[in-house]
Amino acid sequence: MSSAPAADGPLVVGVDSSTQSTKVLVVDAATGRVVASGQAPHRVSSGPARESDPEDWWNALCAALDQCGEPAREAAAVSVGGQQHGLVTLDARSRPVRPALLWNDVRSAAQARSLVDRLGGPKAWAERVGSVPGPSFTVTKWAWLSEHEPEAARATAAVRLPHDYLTERLTGSGTTDRGDASGTGWWASATEAYDEEILGLVGLAPELLPRVVRPGEVVGTVRGSGELPFSKGTLVAPGTGDNAAAALGLGLRPGTPVLSLGTSGTVYAVSTRRQADPTGTVAGFADARGDWLPLACTLNCTLAVDRVAALLSLDREAVEAGGAVTLLPYLDGERTPDLPHASGLLHGLRHDTTPGQLLQAAYDGAVHSLLGALDLVLDADADRSAPLLLIGGGARGAAWQDTVRRLSGRAVQVPEARELVALGAAAQAAGLLTGEDPAAVARRWGTADGPVLPPVERDESALARIAGVVSDAASLLDSRGHLDAKGHEETRP
């Protein structure tokens, strides 16, 4: 590895432990310049049982840091951003009891419905927790585990989220932050504390959970285990969930809308108001700073569209305009709309439908789900003409950009900075050293700068057609099937 130019300030490390891989950036805290980077993959099971071994995340972190070379050894602080909602169960020796249940594991759909009813319905959950739990939420996964694998639940001495697990491996202390805790379903946004009644509903003892630390708190220092290149005494920041980390990485101010195109699709904005949507469309998450991050998430985004492209033997950019075909790419069930048992649905196929039109329909179906939640995420006084910030793996794809512009009618800004989750974690680490708000650090780094694509006329006919298919196919999409203990789908009368 060639030597990098001397840094203007101390070096910090930002980690993005996502569904598919761990990415690491070593960043100059003064300028935001990326000095070194590394990446290593994770193994994820396929089918309804979406699981990963947490040891894979640790090994990937070690490998990615090793790729960074000497700059990682010079870092003064580190922070971990991680995939949200995953259930990590540890035994008395802090080893995984079983593979982690990931956010896109939908086997707990039945438990989610039951828990919503047991606490008094969606409105009660929204007012108390800020969100109505679906099968992505950690509380439903623990309920599923307790019901289907009671021996694993009994062997569990600590419950963690993915970013908590890696932070604890760094420091030896069990901690989490308000941003990631708000996606569990057992952290009450109204009181900013664990809700003991909800924990009682699922039989989870509060002492098994990590301490929720304050924004800006130093949670510990890196232990000198020899596995990592950090110097002894390197500071460790609280870390947070991936969406809250990306919000930090963009330096978001309240009211700026973000549309993230990744394995999942998300739309969110920072708000100074705590949200409580009883429909369950918007999750009233906390951010990592002390404000709120109302967010809507779809399970099917870039991965689903790429799968359709592969089935058609097309490049992902080989879209064609025209036609009246509608494709709802709910290949893994869906979260927004709340259809955990849905599968993909194709309507309006004709003799003259081309493969490129079919691929464009997949893009349209994915973006329609996200845009439907945009107005619900934004505060009433937000500027509706402000450009959408487009981030994530799909943000630089022309087909994604054009589809978002055509279906939203809004300008789109594509930040030039990549790896915003890792940059947000790095900004959080830098804030430990400088005393700054991490979002202000990111703004100083200019992470949101990028070209603005002008708005085009909104395609009202496509929006109406897709909405009509979703409505007309409601009973077919929500078959109320359920998954048995082995993850096989059964049909409910």
Catalytic residues: 242
Residue 135: other Cβ atoms inside 10 A: 28
Which residues does residue 412 pair with via DSSP β-bridges, in sequence order?
A: 388, 453
Query: Is 223 strand, coil or helix?
Result: coil
**CB-based contacts of 319: which residues, under 8 Å, 6+ apart?**
356, 357, 359, 360, 363, 399
- Provide the token pair at 325: 């075909």
Cα–chain-centroid distance for residue 96? 22
* 369 in Cβ contact with 355 (< 8 Å): no
Q: How far is 406 from 149, CA to CA, in rounded Å?
A: 47
Classify burial at 430, counting beta carbons within 10 Å of its beta carbon; exposed 0-12, middle 13-18, buried 19 or more.
buried
Classify burial at 80, counting beta carbons within 10 Å of its beta carbon; exposed 0-12, middle 13-18, buried 19 or more.
buried
Which residues does residue 212 pair with via DSSP β-bridges, in sequence order?
A: 176
Residues in the chain: 493
The pairing of beta strand 265-268 with beta strand 292-298: antiparallel
Which residue has 């989750």 as its token pair? Answer: 421
Question: Hey, CA dihedral for 146, 152, 156, 161, is it positive or negative?
Answer: negative
Q: How far is 406 from 462, CA to CA, in rounded Å?
A: 9
Residue 314 identity (one-letter amino acid): L
